Structure formats: C-alpha cells, structure tokens
C-alpha cells in the first residue's frame, strides 16, 4: 500500500493566505523528506476552502521543490477548465516533474454552487460536459491532427507540444461519490478516488468496483492493475497521547466544517443552502474520516486498512488550519515508523 499526503488547507482570513501557502509548501517538502509516495492537491475557489486554489500552479511549485514524490490532483474541477488548455498545462507539468504527475478529475464540488457561478457555468452543465471534457483531454494528450466536434467544444489541433512525459499520458483517475459512478468508471477500467468512508464502506466499494470490472469483460490482471491505482483519503492526527491527537483532530475538523458551511450558506443560492447537521451526523463523519492516536495506534489502524484491501491511502494532516508546528510534528512522528512499515510490504 502506498501512502500519500493530501494537502487542502483552509484559510479562514484572507490576511493569512500567504502564510498558509508558505507553510503548505513546507508540508509538501516534508512529505518527500519523510518518504511518502505522493502529494495530492485539490481545487476550490473564492473562500479559502483550499487556500492555493489552483492545483496546477501549486503543483508546479511543488515539482520545483521535490525530486521523487508523485504529484496528484484530487481533483482538478473539470467544469472550470477548457480541456485543451488543461492538456497543455498538465503536459508541461508532467515534463517539469519528469513523469511524476497523476491527474484526478471530477466535475467539481457537489455543494459549492458559487464556484461554478464564478466561472460562468453551473453544476448541472459541469456534470453534463464531464465525459466530453475527459475525452478531449486524452485526445489532446495522445493524438495528432485532431478535429473534435462535440456538444460543448469544437477544436482543431495539429499536435500538442510538449506532449506528456509519460506515455501515452499521465495516469487518469476519476473521483466518485455514488455507487453508480463507481460502476461507470469500472466499466471503462478507470481507477477511482474516494474519501470520507468507514472501513466496511471501503471494502464494499472496492468489491463493487472489482465486480463491475469483471462484468464489463476485464480479466483478472486488468482488474488488479486498476484496483492498484485506487486512492482513498482520510484525515490523520498523531500525537504522544491518544487524547491529544483526538483533541487536535476534533478542533480542526470543527473549524473546517464551520468555515465551509458558512461560505455555502452565504454564497450559494438560498434554495441550495445545506440544512444544519445533527450532532450524530457530525460525529459519524468525524469518526469514519479520521485515523487518530499515538504512532503505534496509527500504525495499527493503517495496517488494518491494508489488511482489508485498501490499495493506497492519502493522509490529510492539516484539517482546519492547524498550527504548522503541530502538523510537522505529527508528520515526523509518522516518519519514525514509516520505513519499518514499508519493509513489511
């Protein structure tokens, strides 16, 4: 099982943005230093929900500061990008990183309607154009003398220069929320990204993915190759005691949820404002979304996830604008047993 870092830091005040960006770059550099396999970036705009906003530009900064670690998108919001421009940018980043790029795609946020409005589109249009956008992205990466005429784009491209460093193109994954979307991706052999799941949900959804691939005619080798590229994210908090780790995680999670829901309440159309979560809903989401404890306790929890069949795990250390010293301290506690964990694989 590969282990990566998921960095999606909130910034609750615009005056903090630059400092949070700097500390997030330091977090990315530390991820390579302690031996993690990948850094995963996301995309959100206008509210500081993800302070760096643009994963392509931020990924380029990370590529310049690292030499080994993979750089993935979880995800780039396809509704907010022209697919040919995205092909140009990602091909260049793949070259700058010498083939370390993983492109995770998704329509965009299922809740932040204000993000779509800011780019002159809608959630429903983003959903409708996603398949065509990915088709055109792959065409631009791989083909020459392209003429594409679709519902949303009509383009003529002689050749993409530079083309991707990885051939035929960087790994392409899709974020999924529903069982329907998992089946759809399995039917074409596309690896997936998932998050916010409990242990049994992880088992059930990976089994669903395997079964749907088999039903679509893929053989065992093809299925295992695709499953091996699935990534699932969880929050993590490591401290010298379980109580301290839980306190840090709970406070950060509460800050993040408050920040995100306030933005949606203020900026989304009033018909789309989310209802307040009950205490039970909040607790359930917190419990299944986090790995918490001392280094030994965390080791046991991650090893359990490996045993139940989780292929790859991305860990979010900074949930809710946690003090950078706490984040780096938690990551360094992971470093102490990470080499031993990799030796076991």
The pLDDT, as a whole number, for residue 341 is 64
Domain range list for the chain:
2-344
Query: How confident is the model over 150-197, as pLDDT tens digits?
Result: 999 999 999 999 999 999 999 999 999 899 999 999 999 999 999 989
User: What pLDDT score does 338 carry?
Assistant: 83
User: Which run of H or E residues covers position 53?
Assistant: none
- Positive/negative CA dihedral, 66, 68, 69, 71: positive
pLDDT > 70: percent of the chain: 95
162 cis-preceded (ω within 30 degrees of 0): yes
For residues 232-243, average pLDDT: 97
Q: How confident is the model at residue 202 (pLDDT cuts 50, 70, 90)?
A: very high
Q: What is the pLDDT of residues 76-110, one digit of tens each?
A: 999 999 999 999 999 999 999 999 999 999 988 88
Report the distance separating Cα 11 and Cα 21, nearest Å.
9
Average pLDDT, the chain: 95
Cα 150 versus chain centre, distance: 28
CATH number belonging to domain 2-344? 3.20.20.30
Q: Place 277 in a pLDDT band, splitting at 50, 70 and 90.
A: low
| Cβ atoms of 120 and 82 closer than 8 Å | no
Mean pLDDT in residue range 304-316: 96
Inform me whether the pLDDT recorded for 275 exceeds 80: no
Nearest-angstrom CA–CA distance, 338 and 298: 11
34-74 tens-digit pLDDT? 999 999 999 999 999 999 999 999 999 999 999 999 999 99
- DSSP letters spanning 230-272: -EEEEEEEE-SSHHHHHHHHHHHHHHHHHHHHHHHHHHS-GGG
């Amino acid at each position: 099982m590969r282990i990566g870092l998921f960095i999606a830091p909130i910034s609750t005040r615009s005056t903090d943005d630059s400092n949070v960006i700097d500390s997030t770059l330091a977090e990315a550099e530390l991820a390579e230093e302690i031996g993690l396999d990948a850094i995963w970036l996301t995309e959100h705009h206008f509210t500081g929900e993800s302070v760096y906003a643009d994963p392509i530009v931020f990924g380029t900064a990370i590529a310049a500061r690292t030499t080994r670690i993979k750089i993935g998108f979880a995800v780039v919001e396809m509704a907010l990008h022209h697919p040919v421009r995205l092909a140009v940018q990602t091909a260049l980043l793949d070259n700058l990183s010498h083939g370390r790029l993983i492109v995770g795609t998704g329509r965009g946020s299922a809740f932040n309607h204000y993000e779509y409005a800011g780019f002159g589109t809608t959630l429903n249009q983003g959903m409708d154009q996603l398949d065509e956008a990915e088709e055109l992205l792959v065409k631009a990466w791989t083909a020459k003398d392209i003429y594409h005429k679709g519902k949303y784009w009509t383009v003529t491209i002689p050749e993409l220069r530079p083309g991707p460093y990885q051939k035929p193109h960087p790994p392409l994954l899709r974020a999924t929320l529903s069982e329907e979307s998992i089946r759809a991706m399995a039917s074409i052999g596309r690896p997936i990204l998932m998050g916010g799941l409990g242990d049994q949900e992880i088992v059930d959804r990976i089994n669903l993915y395997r079964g749907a691939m088999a039903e679509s005619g893929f053989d065992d080798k093809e299925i295992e190759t695709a499953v091996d590229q699935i990534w699932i994210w969880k929050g993590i908090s490591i401290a010298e005691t379980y109580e301290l780790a839980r306190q840090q995680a709970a406070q950060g999670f509460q800050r993040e949820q408050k920040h995100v829901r306030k933005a949606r309440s203020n900026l989304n159309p009033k018909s789309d404002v989310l209802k307040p979560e009950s205490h039970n809903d909040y607790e359930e989401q917190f419990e299944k979304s986090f790995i918490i404890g001392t280094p030994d306790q965390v080791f046991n929890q991650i090893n359990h996830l490996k045993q139940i069949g989780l292929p790859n795990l991305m860990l979010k250390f900074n949930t809710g604008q946690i003090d950078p010293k706490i984040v780096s301290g938690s990551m360094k506690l992971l470093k102490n047993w990470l080499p031993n964990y990799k030796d076991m694989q």
